[in-house]
């Protein structure tokens, strides 16, 4: 017993144990499973990035609001963790300088955003759950997704389009996560508050899974020809002309479309072997949110 560095009341352990089932469910959503296998369409990856932009914009706005609040202040690491500026770079890469005019917040993402704002303004202690769920996942399984996306979508080796996954000011992710957990455990919270934070973390996972399911439904409507040219607006109910996620007009892929080249390359044994290796690594890293 003397060798243990934590106790059953440590918030980091309560969160890890209390969200394990949610971890497992998130890993087994169809969107995440397809992603890990390298079966991610470029337009869908762009939409996932848009969802992240709106989510982190809300999260970091509320974190800034509560940076001096003792129930959250010890977890305020803007230099090391904040993702909004990185996501803006990704938006510019995928959508161009006028990216703001080409994106909209999806229905599932809006529910997530609304909850984050409510928590930040009315129950700031629960903001801990949302920060933990997002950033610890980004520093863990998110690094696997970065490599899968870079290979599957043939993104530049200089990390354009995946700046979200690049933590320039975190030199050692494992050490930083240990620091973050230590800060979690040092928060002056009673048992009831800790239980509410765990409950909120599970709620955060549910919001993420709803976004995944939404993306999966949209992905099924994407055709190969529309991959590079964009799609009209779609509300998730079958009418592509009403999509809130697409601003580009429907277009056909030009000859020599990179997507078709990628499909052809994916059929080659060597590439299939690489993708299989990615899946194996991902399983070991326990996917998107595994700590």
Q: Annotation-wise, does 132 bind a ligand? A: yes
pLDDT of residue 243: 39
CB count in 10 Å sphere of residue 279? 15
**CA 66 – CA 42 distance, rounded (Å):** 36
**What is the structure's pLDDT at 101?**
97
Assigned token pair, 165: 């996954």
What pLDDT score was predicted for residue 7? 54
Q: Token digits for 193?
A: 């508050």
pLDDT tens digit string along 136-151?
999 988 788 899 999 9
CA atoms in the 13 A half-sphere facing the CB of 263: 11
Q: At which residue do the structure tokens 């296998």 appear?
A: 37
49 exposure class (CB count in 10 Å sphere: 0-12, 13-18, 19+) = buried
Can you give the pLDDT of all 291 residues of the chain as single tens digits? 344 444 568 999 999 999 999 999 998 999 999 998 999 999 999 999 999 999 999 999 999 999 999 999 999 999 999 999 999 999 999 999 999 999 999 999 999 999 999 999 999 999 999 999 999 999 988 788 899 999 999 999 999 999 999 999 999 999 999 999 999 999 999 999 999 999 999 999 999 999 999 999 999 888 653 444 333 333 333 443 333 333 333 343 344 444 455 445 555 555 454 444 444 444 444 344 434
Check whether 183 is labelled as a binding-site residue: no
Instruction: Walk me through the domains of the chain, giving residue ranges and CATH numbers.
Output: 11-285 (1.20.910.10)
181 assigned ligand-binding residue: yes
What does pTM read for this prediction? 0.76
Residue 100 marked ligand-binding? no
């Amino acid at each position: 017993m003397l060798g243990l560095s934590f106790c059953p009341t440590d918030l980091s352990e309560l969160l890890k144990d209390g969200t394990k089932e949610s971890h497992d469910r998130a890993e087994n959503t169809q969107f995440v499973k397809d992603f890990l296998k390298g079966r991610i369409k470029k337009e869908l990856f762009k939409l996932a990035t848009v969802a992240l932009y709106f989510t982190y914009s809300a999260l970091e706005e509320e974190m800034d609001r509560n940076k001096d609040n003792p129930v959250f202040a010890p977890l305020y690491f803007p230099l090391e963790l904040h993702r909004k500026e990185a996501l803006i770079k990704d938006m510019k890469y995928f959508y161009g300088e006028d990216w703001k005019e080409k994106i909209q917040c999806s229905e599932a993402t809006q529910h997530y955003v609304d909850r984050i704002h409510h928590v930040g303004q009315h129950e700031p202690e629960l903001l801990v759950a949302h920060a933990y769920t997002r950033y610890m996942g980004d520093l863990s399984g998110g690094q696997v997704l970065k490599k899968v996306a870079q290979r599957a979508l043939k993104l530049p080796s200089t990390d354009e389009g995946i700046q979200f996954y690049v933590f320039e000011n975190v030199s050692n992710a494992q050490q930083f996560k240990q620091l973050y957990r230590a800060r979690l455990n040092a928060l002056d919270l009673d048992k009831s508050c800790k239980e509410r934070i765990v409950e909120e973390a599970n709620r955060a996972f549910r919001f993420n899974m709803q976004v995944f399911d939404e993306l999966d439904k949209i992905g099924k409507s994407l055709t190969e020809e529309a991959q590079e040219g964009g799609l009209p607006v779609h509300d998730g109910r079958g009418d592509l002309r009403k999509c809130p996620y697409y601003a580009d007009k429907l277009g056909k892929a030009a000859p020599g479309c990179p997507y078709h080249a990628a499909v052809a390359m994916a059929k080659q044994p060597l590439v299939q072997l690489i993708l299989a290796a990615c899946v194996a690594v991902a399983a070991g890293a326990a996917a998107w949110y595994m700590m």
